Structure formats: structure tokens, C-alpha cells
Amino acid sequence: MRERVQQAVSELGYRPFVGARAMRGATYTVGVSSLDTRNLFFGLIADGVQQAMERAGYGVLATLVGAGEGSQLESAESVIDHRMDGLILITPRMSRRSLDAFAHKIPTVVIGRHGSGDAYDSVASDDAAGARLVVDHLVGLGHRHIAYYSQRVSRTAGLPEELRESGYRSAMADHGLQPDVVVGDWTQEAGRAAATALLERPCRPTAIHAGADIAAFGFLGTFWDRGVRVPDEISVAGCDNTPVAAMTPIGLTSVDQRGHAMGEQAAQLLIERIRRPRAGRHFLVPPRLIARTSTAAPR
């Protein structure tokens, strides 16, 4: 009997309608909310999620966000409107309250925001450790004056920019060095502008940690244009280990966050949480430093 049905299924090319299944059970689909299409790092995370979910028999649908302002809240609501079985949020910048509200409505895993509590699970890069890796690396090379380019910190707690800055500060303090923090946006343009301002200082740092690769590219661009040799005159480091960082002749020293693995782990946690609600689990993934040609001993 079972066989005859299977037979008919193949012959007729029958496929169950997800919406109808949703009305009585599950959709076997999870949503990735607010995938930033401008950032390859997020793509890496999403790909990890996709692969792990596929192996487990789940489909993945993503809501996108790019230059448009389409809010993260609307994105996540849409996943709920489709009654998906689970929700993955990538670096959600919403309030803690909103985050909890979603997590109470649908099994949720947060990636890239340090979390706590039982409402959801989280997987984040250990951003403080990443900043420390960079400082240690630069100090090891002989640098003493290491500046840090920090993204404006929003009041929302647990986002990478917050932990990277505090990681930098405490690492510098541990080495007995003075912190030197410049604030701006983590974009290429803002990085370019910050580099220009840096060059006008009477006393320049010998190294700069740009906080994020995309900002580091802005620094590298200005330095190149102005004939400031990297790493001879100044060392530059980033964070995210974007594919571009590895490219010749850029060779940007960066912190790798294992985005693909983070995505896979988040998928695993989400599947567990879908099967059975349980206490929140929160993971910090240790990053690793990828030293390239943009950092060297000071002259």
C-alpha cells in the first residue's frame, strides 16, 4: 500500500503544500532573518546554516536586507507569518525586549550577538578575544602605539562593536599601553575619512586595528593613495577575514570568525530547540588570527 502511494507520488510529481501542512503541523522550513546582501561574511554564515539544515531535512528561506531600510523587525515578523518552524537572527540590532518577544513566539537562535537567558540560544564569535589576538600580535611585533577604530556603540548590549572595543581596551591595559580609540562607522568610506584624519595627527600610531575588514579597506585605500606604505610606515589589521582580505596585493591581517561553522552550529541548536524547548545555550566561538602582509614590525 505504502509502495503504491509512493509510486503515484513519483508518477504524478506530487509535492505537499507547505502552507497546508503548517495548519496541522510543521513546515520543515526555518527562516534566516535580515541577511545582509552587502556583506560576504553574512553569506558565509547563511551558507553554513543552509548546509546543516539541508542535511537535517529542513528547508531554509531568508529575508534580505541591503541598502533599503526594510526593518529587521518586519523581517522576523514575516518569518512568523509564514509559520516557519524556527528563526535564525544574524546580528540583530533590535532591543532586548523585541528579541525576547520573538524568541517566545518561535524557536530562535541568535548569531553574532552575545546572549544569555533561556528564551533563545546564541552563537557568537568571542569578539573580545579577537581584539586581544590583534593587540597581542601587534605588541609581539614590537608596536606600542596601537590605535583602534571603533564603531559607535549603540545602547543595545552584546553586539560585536561593544565587545571588540572592550577587548582592545583590556588587552592594551594588560600590556601596560595607552588605548587610543577613534570612533566612526564601519564602512569603507568612513574608514577612508578616519585614515585621513589620522595622517594629520602630529604623532601617528604605528599600527591601527580597524575593528572590521570593511573599515580596514578604507584605511588601506587612503594610505595607498597618500603614499603611506603599509606595513612599513603603519600596520593595519581588520576583523572578519573577508575573502577580499586574502587577496593579493591587499593581504590584510584579520581575525577569522569561522562564519561557516557558526552557521552550522546555530542550525544544530535550532533543530534541538525545535524538537524540544529547553534551557538557553550560549556559545562563544574562539576566533583565530590570520596574519598577512599588512602587519609587520615597526621601523
249 touches a copy of itself by CB under 8 A: yes
Q: Which is nearer to a copy of itself, 78 or 156 (CB)?
A: 78
C-alpha 11/C-alpha 9 separation (Å) is 6
Q: Which is nearer to a copy of itself, 20 or 279 (CB)?
A: 20
21 touches DNA by CB under 7 A: yes
Q: Which residues contact 4 (CB under 8 A, 6 or more apart)?
A: none
Amino acid at 67: A
For Cα atoms 272, 81, 106, give the angle at the middle one, nearest 5 degrees.
Answer: 25
Comparing C-alpha atoms, which of 115, 93, 133 is closest to residue 239? 133
220 touches a copy of itself by CB under 8 A: yes
Which residues between 158 and 217 bind a copy of itself (CB under 8 A)? Answer: 188, 217
Q: Which is nearer to DNA, 16 or 68 (CB)?
A: 16
**Nine cell digits for residue 104:** 517566545
Comparing C-alpha atoms, which of 203, 251, 260 is closest to residue 230? 251
| CB of residue 81 to DNA, shortest distance in Å | 9
224 touches a copy of itself by CB under 8 A: yes
Of 10, 11, 23, 279, the one binding DNA by CB under 7 A: 23
Q: Give which of DNA, a copy of itself, none residue 239 binds (C-beta under 5 to 8 Å, depending on kind).
A: none
Comparing C-alpha atoms, which of 252, 260, 154, 262 is closest to residue 210? 252
Return the DSSP state at 152.
P
Cβ contact 224:230 at 8 Å: yes
Binding piece for a copy of itself, criterion CB under 8 A, among 50-58, 119-127, 139-147, 196-204: 50-58
Comparing C-alpha atoms, which of 101, 97, 39 is closest to residue 64? 39
Binding piece for a copy of itself, criterion CB under 8 A, among 47-55, 157-165, 178-186, 200-208: 47-55
Q: Give which of DNA, a copy of itself, none residue 1 binds (C-beta under 5 to 8 Å, depending on kind).
A: DNA
Cβ contact 237:217 at 8 Å: no
| CB of residue 290 to DNA, shortest distance in Å | 46
Cβ contact 129:171 at 8 Å: no
Q: For a copy of itself, what does the binding mask look like between residues 80 and 109, x meaning CB under 8 A?
A: xxxx--------------------------
Q: Which is nearer to a copy of itself, 65 or 172 (CB)?
A: 65
Of 7, 8, 25, 152, the one binding DNA by CB under 7 A: 25
